[in-house]
């Protein structure tokens, strides 16, 4: 098992850096209302940019739905579908609409090509032809925010203007060229304040830390009992604390906690610069390797309670050393599960497999990787706190966009975000998409919460008198505040650790100081325990005196 122990340590350390560096951040599927400080505002040109649903009907039958973005100018898009009119769609003649169309449109929605004149000129010409709205097709696949030039004055536009991506425009042109009758409906539904997906995601995050903490505390207590047994049975062959802790466990130091920010920031920039389809596939492979290891560890730990003899029987495997028969039996299932998820990761229900692999990996890492005291936990969370804020907010000033949000969504890869996230589809959101939370938002605070339960168990504190209950409540409240802020910001991505760290760390530090345990928590990280061999020597000396 020695070689396998080294393998475990390498995986756990790499997992901490990798998972945390991938960026802790919850975010909604996409922002409905957006603003742009660089886009000039003036009277008649001060609308928010909002996503717009463009529902189509072909020959009276409901067909495809497209998504566009409204302009800074024009009348606002209605939010309710029942208030949106269904209007015929007409191609502009000329196609760029840089002069007034050749025929009256009498309430039709006109579709025009981008280019050759300003957006407001196209909108004014469409309004003069009695169009009810204008759809401007971009010459690229991405959406473009339509603004006004600083010198423009003719901005009293009374029809809505919407930009469509190139592929949506091509599809609509094909419908019209086939001689079909095409009509459209434009509306921008509002996102509900709270979606049940966020409730389930909150429960998943809290439940993951809860399970990992009890596993970690149970392992620590078993190690402490084993140490006490050794000291009682063999005084001359004592095993010190460091040796016991080193077995299958990696402890984070203050130095490694500080290095986290540097390594994580560097890795995040690499993700940002190299974001592409092949790079996402590489991350998927790495995620599957970690997921298989985590799922295997969790399943073996559970099944060994029922198949103890099977789990305690070992055989030698090249490179891995001694491996239990139970591990060999479980491994093929774990590998097959990860491979199936990777192949079908873009399907509607792939999020279930991703969450299972992710939760298993987080629980495994939290069981193996530990902080030795509250000092290291404070340094780690403080660094992560600054890292989160910088790459969500400050990076906008340097890179013209939030680096962490871009990486989380996989905006430049053509894929649906990076895999190192827990995600649940938004169930009552008309825009669909997912509510997500980064592994780091669970893993990093989870290290401190798990430490609190280990301390409570070693100190024989009950739930109320200990620290775990309050640390767990603080984490849950911090995550809840994160989702409240997320909804108040209309879906704009928020750095979760901005809210979680003050709640979790602040509660722990304040409670420790009030109870007089802060010095022990800060330095030793575990309560003083009597040493049986010391008591044994003392009793022998007393006997000799008599």
Active-site residue numbers? 388, 441
Instruction: Please give the Cα distance from 352 to 332 (Å, whole number).
Output: 19
Q: Is 67 helix (H, G, I), strand (E, B) or coil?
A: strand
Strand 109-113, strand 86-91: pairing: parallel
Instruction: Please give the Cα distance from 381 to 254 (Å, whole number).
Output: 11
Q: Measured between alpha carbons, how far apart are the two ends of the chain, in Å?
A: 49
Is residue 268 within 8 Å of 21, Cβ to Cβ?
Answer: yes
DSSP state, residue 22: T
List Cα–Cα distances, 493 to 183, 430, 447, 510, in angstroms: 35, 19, 24, 30
Report the candidate in 111, 70, 118, 107 with the shortest Cα–Cα distance to residue 94.
111
The label of the residue with tokens 């509660």 reads 507
The label of the residue with tokens 């495809």 reads 64
List Cα–Cα distances, 325 to 300, 301, 317, 331, 385, in angstroms: 10, 13, 11, 10, 43
13-43 burial, b at 16+ Cβ within 10 Å, e below that, comes to bebbebbbbbbbbbbbbebbbbeeeeeeeee
Cα 148-40-139 angle, rounded to 5 deg: 45
**Residue 477 parent element (H or E):** helix 468-488
In this structure, the dihedral spanned by the alpha carbons of residues 137, 138, 144 and 148, taken in order and rounded to 10 degrees, is: -70
Is residue 212 within 8 Å of 83, Cβ to Cβ?
Answer: no
Instruction: Record the tokens describing residue 296, joined without a space.
Output: 């295997």
Instruction: Please give the Cα distance from 129 to 105 (Å, whole number).
Output: 6
Listing DSSP states for 152-191 in one string gives -------S-EEEE-HHHHHHHHHHHHTT--EEEEEE-PPP
Instruction: Please give the Cα distance from 316 to 148 (Å, whole number).
Output: 71
Instruction: Record the tokens describing residue 446, joined without a space.
Output: 């989870």
Instruction: Please give the Cα distance from 532 to 541 (Å, whole number).
Output: 15
206: which residues sit within 8 A by CB, 6+ positions away? 472, 475, 476, 479
Instruction: Please give the Cα distance from 496 to 27 (Å, whole number).
Output: 9
Is residue 475 within 8 Å of 447, Cβ to Cβ?
Answer: no
């Amino acid at each position: 098992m020695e070689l396998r122990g080294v393998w475990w340590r390498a995986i756990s350390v790499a997992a901490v850096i990798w998972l945390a560096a991938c960026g802790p951040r919850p975010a909604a599927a996409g922002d409905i209302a957006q603003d742009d400080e660089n886009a000039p505002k003036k009277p008649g040109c001060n609308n928010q940019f909002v996503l717009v649903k463009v529902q189509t009907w072909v020959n009276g039958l409901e067909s495809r739905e497209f998504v566009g973005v409204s302009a800074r100018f024009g009348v606002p898009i209605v939010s309710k579908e029942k208030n949106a009119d269904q209007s015929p769609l007409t191609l502009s003649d000329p196609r760029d609409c840089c002069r007034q169309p050749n025929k009256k449109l009498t309430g039709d929605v006109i579709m025009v090509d981008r280019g050759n004149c300003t957006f407001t000129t196209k909108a004014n010409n469409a309004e003069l032809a009695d169009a009810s709205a204008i759809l401007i097709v971009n010459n690229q696949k991405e959406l473009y925010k339509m603004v006004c030039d600083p010198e423009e004055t003719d901005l009293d536009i009374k029809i809505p203007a919407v930009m469509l991506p190139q592929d949506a425009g091509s599809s609509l042109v094909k419908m019209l060229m086939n001689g079909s009758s095409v009509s459209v409906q434009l509306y921008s539904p509002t996102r509900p304040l709270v979606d049940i997906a966020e409730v389930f995601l909150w429960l998943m995050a809290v439940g993951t830390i809860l399970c990992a903490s009890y596993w970690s505390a149970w392992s620590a207590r078993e190690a402490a009992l084993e140490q006490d047994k050794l000291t009682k049975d063999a005084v001359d062959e004592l095993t010190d604390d460091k040796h016991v802790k080193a077995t299958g466990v990696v402890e984070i130091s203050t130095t490694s906690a500080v290095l986290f920010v540097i390594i994580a920031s560097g890795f995040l920039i690499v993700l940002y610069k190299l974001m592409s389809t092949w790079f996402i596939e590489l991350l998927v492979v790495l995620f599957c390797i970690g997921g298989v290891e985590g799922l295997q560890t969790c399943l073996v730990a559970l099944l060994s309670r029922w198949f103890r003899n099977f789990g305690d029987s070992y055989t030698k495997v090249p490179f891995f050393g001694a491996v239990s028969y139970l591990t060999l039996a479980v491994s093929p299932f774990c590998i097959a599960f990860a491979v199936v998820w990777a192949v079908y990761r873009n399907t509607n229900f792939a999020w279930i497999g991703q969450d299972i692999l992710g939760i298993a990996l987080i629980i495994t890492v939290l069981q193996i990787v530990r902080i030795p005291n509250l000092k290291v936990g404070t340094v780690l969370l403080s660094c992560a706190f600054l890292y989160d804020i910088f790459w969500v907010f400050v990076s906008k000033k340097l890179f013209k966009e939030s680096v962490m949000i871009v990486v989380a969504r996989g905006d430049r890869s053509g894929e649906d975000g990076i895999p190192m996230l827990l995600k649940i589809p938004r169930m009552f959101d008309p825009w669909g998409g997912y509510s997500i939370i980064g592994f780091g938002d669970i893993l990093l605070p989870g290290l401190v919460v798990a430490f609190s339960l280990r301390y409570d168990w070693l100190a024989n504190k009950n739930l109320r008198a200990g620290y775990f209950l309050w640390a767990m409540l603080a984490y849950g409240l911090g995550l809840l505040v994160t989702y409240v802020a997320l909804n108040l910001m209309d879906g704009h991505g928020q750095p979760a650790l901005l809210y979680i760290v003050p709640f979790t760390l602040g509660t722990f530090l304040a409670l420790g100081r009030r109870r007089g345990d802060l010095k022990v928590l800060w330095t030793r990280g575990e309560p003083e325990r009597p040493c049986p061999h010391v008591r044994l020597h003392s009793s022998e000396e007393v006997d000799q005196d008599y």
